[in-house]
Amino acid sequence: MPVVKYPRFRDPPFYEWDRKAQKCGLRHTVYAVNGDQYTGEWQDNLRHGKGTQIWKNTGAIYSGDWKFGKRDGYGSYSVPDPVTKEYRKVYTGWWQNDRRGGRGVYIYSNGEQYDGEWKKGLRSGWGKMQYKDGSVYEGQWLKDKPSGHGVLRLPNGNRYEGGWKEGKKHGPGKYFYPDKGQLLEGTWVEDIPKCGALVDFERDNAAAPTEFPLPEIDLHDPAAVLAEARAMFDDSKN
């Protein structure tokens, strides 16, 4: 019986060429077609490990950790100044899936600064924001806006402590006026105090206290006040 021999199957040559061309390990600068350049570690032809990326169009630089082609881990992002061309550090901290995620510091172009937690590139969690006018907010954030509980300190010394929602004072809170020695405690709705009581607070230490102290307010139980009013009304009918 004749023996039939089949030729041994081999991969096309370009398979081997492609395998040899796969970038793995530490490489010197690799240039992309659009002019971007990367210097650092690779795995399976993807940026993976430690490395530095420079974008040609913007001149921006990222130096830090990479994971399968995306910024992931700890790293810093800098951009050149449009006038001086000197590099200005924009963000230093943790990254997740190519976006800011975890704890990090972001410096805005107008000089404002945020130091706190991030999620999917947005301020979320606990953080401290220093504004250009000198105001400072420290507290909870959600989707880039103060939400939850936080403290806002103003340049004139006044401060608000209480609830926030979508960047506005919302819920129970306290507004302190140290210069006048007064405190407004109540409930806010979209930055507007809807109800509350204004009382003296550390008036003796205030820089510019009011001429006369505020009279103390004796707050009653609303149910008891209503019952008393009804009793008085019934007595007047009799």
Quote the Cα angle for 90-95-101, to 5°: 95
**Contacts of 142 by beta carbon, 8 Å cutoff, 6+ apart:** 124, 148
Query: In sequence order, which ranges of the chain are alpha helices (DSSP H)?
Result: 13-21, 222-237
Percent of the chain scored above 70 by pLDDT? 77
* Among 25, 94, 27, CA closest to 65: 94
Could you tell me the pLDDT band of residue 10, with boundaries at 50, 70 and 90?
Answer: low
Q: Is the pLDDT of residue 206 over 60?
A: yes
Could you tell me the pLDDT band of residue 14, with boundaries at 50, 70 and 90?
Answer: very low
Beta bridge partners of 201: none
Percent of the chain scored above 90 by pLDDT? 62
More confident call, 59 vs 223: 59
- In angstroms, the CA 109 to CA 126 distance is 22
Q: Which domains, and CATH codes, for the chain?
A: 1-97 (2.20.110), 106-153 (no CATH), 156-237 (no CATH)
Provide the residue type at 27 as one letter. R
User: What pLDDT score was predicted for residue 73?
Assistant: 98
* pLDDT tens digits for range 82-138: 888 899 999 999 999 999 999 999 999 999 999 999 999 999 999 999 999 999 999
Q: Is the pLDDT of residue 7 over 80?
A: no
Token pair listed for 54 = 């420079």
User: What pLDDT score was predicted for residue 202?
Assistant: 76
User: What pLDDT score was predicted for residue 26?
Assistant: 75
CA distance readout (Å), 35 to 32, 98, 118:
5, 20, 30
Token pair listed for 144 = 């880039």
Q: Is the pLDDT of residue 182 over 60?
A: yes
* pLDDT tens digits for range 65-83: 999 999 999 999 999 998 8
**By mean pLDDT, which of 108-112, 115-119, 173-177, 218-222 is the weakest?**
218-222
**Contacts of 88 by beta carbon, 8 Å cutoff, 6+ apart:** 78, 79, 80, 81, 107
